[in-house]
Amino acid sequence: MTTTRRPSALWRPGAGRGGAVASGLVPPPALTALALALLLLPALAALALAQPGNPTPAVSGSAPKSPASGRCGVCHPAERVQFEKSQHAEEDVRCTSCHGGDDRSLEVAIAHGAGFKGRPARKDIPALCASCHSSESRMRAYNLPVDQFALYQTSGHGRRLARGDTRVAVCSDCHGAHDILPPKDPASRTFIPNIPKTCGACHGDSALMGPRGRPDVLRQYLGSVHARELYDRSNLRAPTCVSCHGVHGAAPPTIGDVDKVCGQCHTAERRYFMAGAHHPATNGKRGPECASCHEAHTVEAAQPDRLASSCGQCHAKDPKTLALGRRIWTDYRSAADEVEKAAALTAQAEAVPLQTDDYRARIEEARTYLREALPAAHAVEEDVVAAFTTRARSVGHEVQSEIYGKLGHLRQRKFVLILFWFYLLLTLFVLKRYRDQGARKA
Amino acid sequence: MSAPRPQDPNARAGWVDWLERRINLSEIFSFLTHFGFVITPVDTSRPVREVMRELAETPVPKYASGPRVLGLLTAILFALEAVTGVLLAYYYKPTPEAAFESTRTIVRDLPAGWFLHQMHAWGAWLLAAVVVIRLLRLFWDGLYRAPRELLWWTAVAMVWLVLQLDFTGRLLTWDAHSYWATVRGMEVVFALPIAGPILAFLLGGRVVNDDVLIRFYALHVMVLPTLYAACVYFTFATLRRVGLSPTPEGRPEATTTFRSHLYTMLMLTVGLFGVLVTLATVVPFRFLSAADPYVTPGGVRPPWYMLAPYAVFQWLPVPHWISGLVLLALAFGVLLLPLFLRGDGSPASRRRIRLAGVVVLAVWIAMSAAGALLERR
Amino acid sequence: MPAPEERAAPAAGEPASRRTFLTWLSRAFLGLWGLGAAGVIGAYLRAPEHHERVAARLVSAGLLDDFKIGEGRLVRHGVSPFYVVRLDAERVVALSAVCTHVRCILDFDRERRVIVCPCHDGRFDLAGNVLSGPPPRPLPTYTVSVRAGEVYVHL
């Protein structure tokens, strides 16, 4: 047997007097007054108790919303705004984690009281960040590396800092102080397309770099093909400053190591370079490196005519080497010309129209060979380059001769036309004979 | 059913006689006489071979020569266009994506596809030329006067239909030049008052898109050729009714047998075919790139027959509705010529009318040249 | 149409047979027109089965049995060449052979089952994903269907 719940005596549906109260929708007036009084009591108590100097956090609307920044943000709103957008705010890192002090109080004496570090000195910042970021136990959950500090100390920036030069990059210069975002966030300073600007904040500032004898590498980089690949073609795999210089252990590549750096992507060029006469092992520190001909930062797209001009930079007095360079250049150039002639002829055939899909495919293959010939030129040997240029040239020749053949067939049409006219005139003659015979018969 | 006839000893006993003993072939053959293609009525009680022989010997005025041949030429060219057109239609696909590709497949990959395509293109050009020349000759010789009004109207209609066929057919290749020429042509059409919006409504709107293409295709393949065939029938029927155009003064009407006439027509066809083949081989139409509605090549004009209205709308400092009305009035005037150009047949009035016609034509040609040469404002 | 020969019965043998021969010859001559037209139109109308249309979107890549397991074959199809790779007894994949970096034609590394670009050493796996190197986008892949033992690729 189910027990039905009895409605309480206070709310009795449909009993006694009519109206909202009697129907049970609205509680009786007395009860309402009691409830309101009970609710208001804490508020009154809060008002009574809200005296300055009381450290207990009050439930009111004037406190900052972010638990991470505590109450520091009341006096430091700019920093609070930055911090609230950062990754640290989500991970419950507080202002006090780096700056010390007490973030529950609005009184300066207490807030900036015991343990307050204030703005850390530049030379202390790396160690400060490392206090968490070098701890594997802390970083493991995020799968973040913990070697940044160690690498930093080997870097150009780190070594100078150790020597007392504070006008070098420290963690906050690249990652920001309060607005630290992960590298995958497009607003982050360490987001790949933003990296040149981040490094360029110092290395593109001629006032800063001039006295140190450094050029404006940011401007140089922005004019390079790497920057065009990064910005114009949105290719996030394009190299930025950190690709060649390292991230935390940033330092310029040493002499002899440049080809290893460029060879990270340009594996083919490096392979040929190591197999050729410019090999670092044979030439030691006096040999050419990638940057000798291609510049370090203003790297341009592959320019085949460099084959003609670069050799003279070092071998100006050596006619045999210069001749070799020129031969490689003419070899490449003639093959490229053949392929381009074939391409032009294909376009002409297209307008006839002839079936040109196969020719265009073969021209693309030939162009691939030509593109492969350019890395091969780093071996500075004719035969190596000729392996590709002859293939490209032969494809160009084949395509040209085939198209000429087809165009020749078309010219044959005009001769067939003459034969056709003989046939036509003969037909007219025969018809005329038939007509006249029929007329004579009539 | 006729009585059994004695066997003609010279006739070949064969399948024709076998059939003739069972059906009246002459009766069936006589249907041709109902369309005006055959001049004399046919005695269907005679065997078909005799009927054919009599027909072959029938004297007919020589109209496969001289200026009268123009009519025949238009008929032959139209038949050629129809045949090549049908063959092209076997592979052509009338959607913007496939139109150019299918045309290129025809021209590039199919055997004799290029030949059919060039024949169709040059045939269209020749047909337009011949049909216009015919109209001019009809005007010159005053052949619009009663009782030949229908002849003139059908001639004007045929000129209009051929130009429409040219306009609609031009778009079908969907290449860059033809697409933009059609766009320009549509601009001219829309600028006409009254007729412009109506035509725009019928042709499918202001933007040349896939709907317009399909409408053009339907018009080009089904509607316009049917109307043209109707005009051809009217022409033949009218000629049967009123007789052929009179010969120049002093020359007797030359006659020839129907058989010779048919042979002459065959020779004309062969000759015309030869001319077209020569044009197709020696001066083929170039094949351009596919149309891109977002890229306008420079210097594209409307088709040649729309150059005069184009020049008028572009450069005459007169509001379009006025110049449009004048052009429409002119067009209707040409159509309704017989109604007001009566004349009294005297040489003086004839000369006056001819002069007026020459002047109008010269103005039209001048305006077309202006439309072709002057830069777009 | 009455032919000339019916005009007069041939009197003697030789001139008559020559006339008949000429008549036959002229008729054959005229008949050539008909034959020629029929031949040309016939070839034109018959074309689709006998002509390989390179612009077609459905390309045959050969018989399935001609592909060894693990083999990758480059099919030159106009400007969109593609690789057809037989993964195992049933699965065949097709992907573009044009590198998404600078459009070099790719090579197939059979041992490592990757597609390599000879220009900047970009590498793709057989699903088209970029494994390493500068290519910015994955390779387009195409649907493959095997009908009656023949491999068809839908471009």
Residue B55: pLDDT band (50, 70, 90) is confident
For residue C2, list chain B residues with Cβ-Cβ distance below 8 A. Answer: 53, 56
For chains B and C, CB pairs below 8 A equal: 33
Q: What is the pLDDT of residue A102?
A: 85
- A434/B contact by beta carbon, under 8 A: yes
For residue C51, list chain B residues with Cβ-Cβ distance below 8 A. Answer: 109-110
DSSP state of A191: S
- B87/C contact by beta carbon, under 8 A: yes
**φ/ψ of residue B200, rounded to 5:** -60, -40
DSSP SS3 for A82: helix
Which own/partner pairs from B7-12 qualify as long-range (CB within 8 Å, at least 24 positions apart)?
Answer: B10/C6, B11/B49
Mean pLDDT of B142-153: 84
Mean pLDDT of A116-141: 90
Give me the residue from A353, A421, A428 closest to B267, CB to CB. Answer: A428
- Taking phi first (over 0 means left), then psi (-120 to 50 degrees means alpha), and beta for anything else, what does residue C85 get? beta
d(CA A258, CA B338): 93
Min mean pLDDT across B2-6, B151-155, B295-299, C55-59 is at B2-6
Q: Is C146 exposed, middle or buried (0-12, 13-18, 19+ CB in 10 A)?
A: middle
Min mean pLDDT across A307-311, B3-7, B127-131, B334-338 is at B3-7
pLDDT 10s digits, A219-228: 999 999 999 9
- B7/C contact by beta carbon, under 8 A: no
Q: What is the pLDDT of residue B88?
A: 95
Element (H, E) at C14: helix C13-50
- C14/B contact by beta carbon, under 8 A: no
DSSP SS3 for B256: strand
Task: Say yes or no to pLDDT of A65 above 60.
Answer: no
- A313/C contact by beta carbon, under 8 A: no
Residue A397 Cα, gap to closest chain B Cα (Å): 23
Disruptive mutation site among B57, B106, B261, B263 for chain A (greatest number of A CBs within 10 Å): B263
Cβ atoms of B182 and B208 closer than 8 Å: yes
User: DSSP labels for B57-74?
Assistant: H-EEE--SSGGGHHHHHH
The β-bridge partners of C105 are: C98
- C12/B contact by beta carbon, under 8 A: no
Higher pLDDT, A2 or A236: A236
Evaluate if pTM is beyond 0.80: no
Give me the residue from B107, B270, B288 closest to A428, CB to CB. Answer: B270
For chains A and C, CB pairs below 8 A equal: 77
Give me the residue from B90, B109, B259 closest to C53, CB to CB. Answer: B109
Q: Tell me if C45 and B90 make a contact (CB, 8 A cut-off).
A: yes
Q: What is the pLDDT of residue B77?
A: 95
Q: Tell me if A438 and B267 make a contact (CB, 8 A cut-off).
A: no
Cβ atoms of C76 and C109 closer than 8 Å: no
Residue B111 Cα, gap to closest chain C Cα (Å): 5
Q: Which token pair is A124?
A: 């202390």
Task: Say yes or no to pLDDT of A308 above 90.
Answer: no
Q: What is the pLDDT of residue A4?
A: 46
Task: Say yes or no to pLDDT of B15 above 50.
Answer: yes
Share of chain B above pLDDT 90, in %: 32
pLDDT 10s digits, B297-334: 888 888 899 998 888 888 888 888 888 888 888 888 88
pLDDT 10s digits, A315-326: 888 899 889 988
Domain boundaries along the sequence of chain A:
253-300, 319-408
**φ/ψ of residue C84, rounded to 5:** -115, 120
DSSP SS3 for B325: helix
Q: Tell me if A437 and C4 make a contact (CB, 8 A cut-off).
A: yes
Closest among A175, A86, A79, A83 to A125, alpha carbons compared: A175
Amino acid type, A52: P
Could you give the count of Cα atoms lying within 13 Å of B179 in the half-sphere of its Cβ? 23
Mean pLDDT estimate for chain A: 83
Q: What is the pLDDT of residue A8?
A: 46
* Per-range mean pLDDT, top range of A264-273, A290-299, B30-39, B154-163: B154-163
pLDDT 10s digits, A2-28: 444 444 444 444 444 445 554 555 566
Q: Tell me if A357 and C77 make a contact (CB, 8 A cut-off).
A: yes
Could you give the count of Cα atoms lying within 13 Å of B126 in the half-sphere of its Cβ? 26
pLDDT 10s digits, B240-292: 788 777 776 667 777 888 888 888 889 999 999 999 999 998 888 888 888 88
The β-bridge partners of C144 are: C153
- Partner chains of B (3+ C-beta pairs under 8 Å): A, C
CA angle C45, C49, C54 (to 5 degrees): 105
Residue A55: pLDDT band (50, 70, 90) is very low
Give me the residue from B256, B273, B278 closest to A417, CB to CB. Answer: B278
Share of chain A above pLDDT 70, in %: 84
The β-bridge partners of C98 are: C105
Q: What is the pLDDT of residue A40?
A: 63
Task: Say yes or no to pLDDT of C4 above 60.
Answer: no
- A88/C contact by beta carbon, under 8 A: no
CA angle A397, A400, A404 (to 5 degrees): 140
- C22/B contact by beta carbon, under 8 A: no
For residue C47, list chain B residues with Cβ-Cβ distance below 8 A. Answer: 109-111, 113
Task: Find the closest chain C residue to A356 by CA distance.
Answer: C78
Residue B44: pLDDT band (50, 70, 90) is confident
Q: Tell me if C134 and A427 make a contact (CB, 8 A cut-off).
A: no
Q: What is the pLDDT of residue A437?
A: 83
Element (H, E) at B314: helix B307-315
Cβ atoms of C96 and C119 closer than 8 Å: no
d(CA B72, CA B76): 6
Q: Which token pair is A333?
A: 């150039």
Q: How far is C-alpha A163 from the chain's CA centre?
A: 34
Higher pLDDT, B146 or B269: B269
* Cross-sheet strand order for the sheet of C82-86: C58-63, C150-154, C141-147, C92-96, C82-86, C72-75
Task: Say yes or no to pLDDT of A129 above 50.
Answer: yes
Q: Tell me if B112 and C2 make a contact (CB, 8 A cut-off).
A: no
Share of chain A above pLDDT 90, in %: 31
Residue B274 Cα, gap to closest chain A Cα (Å): 7
Disruptive mutation site among C1, C7, C27, C44 for chain B (greatest number of B CBs within 10 Å): C44
Residue C51: pLDDT band (50, 70, 90) is very low
In-domain check, residue B239: yes
Task: Say yes or no to pLDDT of C48 above 90.
Answer: no
Task: Say yes or no to pLDDT of C9 above 60.
Answer: no
User: DSSP labels for B327-342?
Assistant: HHHHHHHHHTHHHH--
In-domain check, residue B214: yes
Higher pLDDT, A441 or C6: A441
In-domain check, residue B316: no
In-domain check, residue B80: yes
Q: What is the pLDDT of residue A333?
A: 93
Q: b/e for B319-356, b at 16 or more Cβ within 10 A?
A: ebeebbeebbeeeeebbebbeebeeeeeeeeeeebeee
Higher pLDDT, A294 or C2: A294
Q: How far is C-alpha A314 from the chain's CA centre?
A: 36
CATH number of C58-154: 2.102.10.10
Element (H, E) at B362: helix B347-373
pLDDT 10s digits, C89-146: 888 999 999 999 888 889 999 888 899 998 888 899 999 999 988 888 999 999 998 8
Residue C26 Cα, gap to closest chain A Cα (Å): 7
Q: What crossing angle do the helices spanning B307-315 and B176-191 adopt, rounded to 10°?
A: 60
For residue B274, list chain A residues with Cβ-Cβ distance below 8 A. Answer: 420-421, 424
In-domain check, residue B373: no
Min mean pLDDT across A1-10, A175-184, A374-383, B150-159 is at A1-10
Q: What would you measure as the largest C-alpha separation in chain A, in angstroms?
A: 139
Mean pLDDT of B211-232: 94
Q: What is the pLDDT of residue C50?
A: 43
Q: Which token pair is B297?
A: 């090549």
- Taking phi first (over 0 means left), then psi (-120 to 50 degrees means alpha), and beta for anything else, what does residue A358 get? alpha
Cβ neighbours, 10 Å, residue C139 = 24
Higher pLDDT, C79 or A244: A244
- B34/C contact by beta carbon, under 8 A: no
Amino acid type, B157: A
Residue B263 Cα, gap to closest chain A Cα (Å): 6
Cβ atoms of B48 and B20 closer than 8 Å: yes
Residue B39: pLDDT band (50, 70, 90) is low
Q: What is the pLDDT of residue A10?
A: 45
- C32/B contact by beta carbon, under 8 A: no
Q: What is the CATH number of the domain that holds B105?
A: 1.20.810.10
- C34/B contact by beta carbon, under 8 A: no
Q: What is the pLDDT of residue A66?
A: 55
Q: Tokens 């001019």: give the residue.
A: B136
CA angle A180, A185, A190 (to 5 degrees): 60
Q: Please report, to the nearest 10 degrees, the dihedral formed by the alpha carbons of residues B303, B306, B308, B312 taken in order.
A: -120
Q: Tell me if B257 and A427 make a contact (CB, 8 A cut-off).
A: no
How many independent structural domains does chain B possess?
1
- A417/B contact by beta carbon, under 8 A: yes
Q: Where are the alpha helices (H) located in A60-102, listed in sequence order?
A: 72-75, 77-84, 87-90, 95-99
- Partner chains of A (3+ C-beta pairs under 8 Å): B, C
Q: Tell me if B116 and C44 make a contact (CB, 8 A cut-off).
A: yes
Closest among C105, C133, C103, C130 to C121, alpha carbons compared: C133
Q: Tell me if B116 and C6 make a contact (CB, 8 A cut-off).
A: no
Domain that includes residue B143, residue range:
66-301
